[in-house]
Amino acid sequence: MSDRPPRRRRPARHRRIALLGIGLLAAACSGPTGSTGAPEPVTLRLQVSLTPEELATFEPALAAVDADHPEWIVRLETVPQGSEVEKVTSQLAAGDLPDVLRVQGLNAQQWIRRGAFADLSGRSLDPAADFYAGPAEQFGWDGRIWGLPDTASPEVVYFNKAMFDAAGLSYPTADWTYDDMREAAIALTLDGGGRRPTDPGFEPATIRQWGWNGGLTYFWQNELVRARGGDLCVTADCTEMSFTDPATAAAIEWWVTLVRDDHAAPYDPYGGSQTGVPGDPFLAGVAAMGSNGWFAVGQLNAAGTIDYDVVPPLIGVDGERHTSLSTNGYVISGTSRHPDAAWALVQALLEPRFLEATWGRPGHAVPARISAASSAIDGSHPPTNQDTVLEAMAVGRVFRPYTAAAFAAYGATVDLFTKLNTGELGLEEGLAQLEAAANAALAADRGQ
């Protein structure tokens, strides 16, 4: 038995492995070199979070814009729409934010308030002139402008024609109030045996058709409360909320009784425990009416199973229309090395013609510029009353609150709404708990 290792083989093998390892590490560590920042053209990183359909129209349009501007090279980076927060948070932590981002409205404010984006107030594009006030508000703070909206999707009222016909009711009109809606909703709610809530023997547990798609089920529905004469927001940016103020409490009660006592709307509209499928009840074909964003048009037309039309947001107790809208817009990174070129790119992406061709006419969303908004109307497909979307854009407001702690407050209150709607929690007690929970969560953002 030899007690010496076979000298000849080991060192050579050793060396080979070591060299390979060093080589790999060296190759790995050299990595891709960043932009060398050659004098011309400037490389701009543009990050968007779009659905595949939106990307299909956006990418070629962006390429055309890029071709028109030889002074830039635009590198498009995409993020799955539901993962924007994770991506941007990580990029902010590492200082790796792209030059221009298209962000979702509800996410924007938390980053704006932490100074992530460049101040656009001094730039020459005047938002007040051509942008709808609702979407523009999403990107303003502290009296300054931190971004500009390109599109929005307001909520309008949808109704199912077949269900109205079956009940012998006339369709909603642009003059309808919430009381009109309530009356119709009760008449359109049917249980398993075809009985209405007002009929004897009505069994709520077997409801197979609701009149309205859902009541007050989460705290971002302030517009529904305002329509009935209340207001959940005490301060302008809603970092302090009130549920117990008499007018607000009365407004909330109106909605709660619609669900709890009249059974005309489900208490779990999106979870699917009552309807059987997750998602909006109107889209599932089990609600006769409902308030939904404009993007529901695309989904309804794709499914093609529901004969529907729309009317403008219903008239509230103050004679005005109230509705919410979601928006998206462009921001420039606060750490961008080419802020002027980035601004030029943003301007190009906000041109009315670009918005019309890339967003409005394909039917993805409504341009947030007044001059381009009507491109969203396309008479070649349902619904018929598409002008309602322009009325909704004019009155729509973004969801409040939209500060960083809003998501925490949402999580803290969502169960309480359900209990109010099922009756598990009494109204007075429920409202007090809601107010306490919401304000506790929002305390972090107060005074910001």
Partner 1 sequence: MSVASLGRQAATRRRTRGLGLRPRERWFYLLIAPWLIGLVVFQAAPIAGAAGLAFAEWAPPLPIEWVGTSNFEAMVRDDQFWQALGNTLVYGVGTVIPGLALGLGLALLLRGRRRGGSILRGAVFLPAVVSGVATALVWGWILNPRFGLLNAALGLVGIDGPAWLHDPAWAMPALIVMGLWNVGVNVIVYLAALNGVPRELQEAAALDGAGRAARFRHVVWPALTPVTFYLAIVNAIGAFQVFTPTYLLTSGGPDGSTLTLALYTYQNAFAYGRLGYASALAIAVVVALAALVVIQFRFAGRRVVYLGADG
Partner 2 sequence: MNEPSLPARALPANRHKTGGRLILAMVAILAVVPFAVPFLWLVASALKPIGQFYAAPPTLLPDPPSLENLAGAVALVDVPRLLANSTLIAGLSVGATVLSASLVGFAFATLPARGRRPLFGILIVTILVPPSATLIPQFILFSRLGWVGSYLPLIVPHLCGSAFFVFLFRQWFLNQPPHLFETAELDGANPLQAWWHIALPLARPAVAAVAVFAFVGSWNDFLGPLLYLREPESFTISLGLAAFQGTYVGQLHYTLALSLVALIPVVAVFAVAQRWLVPGIATGGWRG
Q: Which residues bind partner 2 (CB under 8 A)?
A: 1-2, 5-6, 10, 13, 17, 24, 28-29, 31-34, 45, 47, 49, 51-53, 55-56, 75-84, 86-87, 89-90, 93-96, 104, 153, 208, 272, 275-277, 279, 281, 283-286, 293, 295-296, 298-299, 302-305, 326
Give the shortest CB-218-to-partner 1 separation in angstroms. 11
**Around 119, how many Cα atoms within 13 Å sit in the side-chain half-sphere?**
9
Residue 271 interacts with partner 1 (CB under 8 A)?
yes
Applying CB under 8 A, which of residues 415, 426, 428, 429 lies at the interface with partner 1?
Answer: 415
User: What's the angle, vertex CA 358, arms to CA 352 and CA 360, rounded to 5?
Assistant: 70
CA dihedral in degrees (120, 126, 128, 133; nearest 10)?
A: -50
In angstroms, give the least distance from the CB of 447 to partner 2: 28
The piece of 44-52, 264-272, 358-366, 391-399 that touches partner 1 (CB under 8 A) is: 264-272
Question: What is the C-alpha to C-alpha distance for residues 196 and 215, in angstroms, rounded to an integer?
Answer: 18
Residue 304 touches which of partner 1, partner 2, none (CB < 5 to 8 A by kind)? partner 2
Is residue 162 within 8 A of residue 151, CB to CB? The reply is: no
Contact status: 418 vs partner 1 (CB under 8 A):
yes
Q: What are the structure tokens assigned to 28, written together?
A: 């790995």
Q: Which C-beta is closer to partner 2: that of 10 or that of 144?
A: 10
Do the Cβ atoms of 229 and 255 come closer than 8 Å?
no
Q: Does 192 bind partner 1 (CB under 8 A)?
A: no
Answer yes or no: are the C-beta atoms of 348 and 106 closer than 8 Å: no
Q: Which does 6 bind (CB under 5 to 8 A by kind): partner 2, partner 1, none?
A: partner 2
What does the alpha-carbon distance between residue 444 and residue 177 come to, in Å, rounded to a whole number? 38
Instruction: Report the residue number, 10 or 353, with the smaller CB distance to partner 1.
Output: 10
Partner touching 411 among partner 2, partner 1, none, CB below 5 to 8 Å by kind: partner 1
Closer CB to partner 2, 60 or 426, in the complex: 60
The residues near 81 (Cβ < 8 Å, ≥ 6 apart) are 49, 50, 51, 104
Q: Which amino acid is at 314?
A: L
The residue written with tokens 């249980």 in the block is 191
Give the other-Cβ count within 10 Å of 307's Cβ: 14
Characterize the bridge pairing of strands 42-48 and 72-78.
parallel
Residue 80 interacts with partner 1 (CB under 8 A): yes or no: no
- Which CB, 83 or 198, lies closer to partner 1? 83
Other Cβ atoms closer than 10 A to 162: 12
Q: Which stretch binds partner 1 (CB under 8 A): 273-281, 349-357, 372-380, 426-434?
A: 273-281
Nearer to partner 1, 6 or 39 (CB): 6
The residue among 24 and 64 lying less far from partner 1, judged by its C-beta, is 24
Check residue 334 for interaction with partner 1 (CB under 8 A). yes
| Residues 110-129 close enough to bind partner 1 by CB under 8 A | 110, 114-116
Q: Which tokens is 131 given?
A: 């942008």
Extended beta strands in 79-160, E state: 100-104, 140-141, 144-145, 148-160
- 13, 16, 53, 89: which one binds partner 1 (CB under 8 A): 89
Q: Which is nearer to partner 2, 97 or 145 (CB)?
A: 97
408 counts as binding partner 1 under rule CB under 8 A: yes
Closest CA to 111 of 427, 299, 394, 331: 331
Task: Look at residue 213 and give the partner it binds from partner 2, partner 1, none, a contact being a CB closer than 5 to 8 Å depending on partner kind.
Answer: none
Return the one option of partner 1, partner 2, none that residue 408 interacts with (CB less than 5 to 8 A, by type): partner 1
CB within 8 Å of 213: residues ≥ 6 apart: 265, 266, 269, 280, 281, 282, 287, 289, 290, 291, 292
Tell me if 331 contacts partner 1 by CB under 8 A. no
Token digits for 428?
A: 């007075």
Residue with Cβ nearer partner 2 (31 or 122): 31
User: Diameter of the chain by CA atoms?
Assistant: 102
Reported as half-sphere exposure (CB side, CA atoms, 13 A), residue 404 has a value of: 13
Residues that bind partner 1 (CB under 8 A): 3, 5, 21, 25, 85-86, 89, 92-93, 95, 97, 110, 114-116, 268, 271-278, 334-335, 404-405, 407-408, 411, 414-415, 418
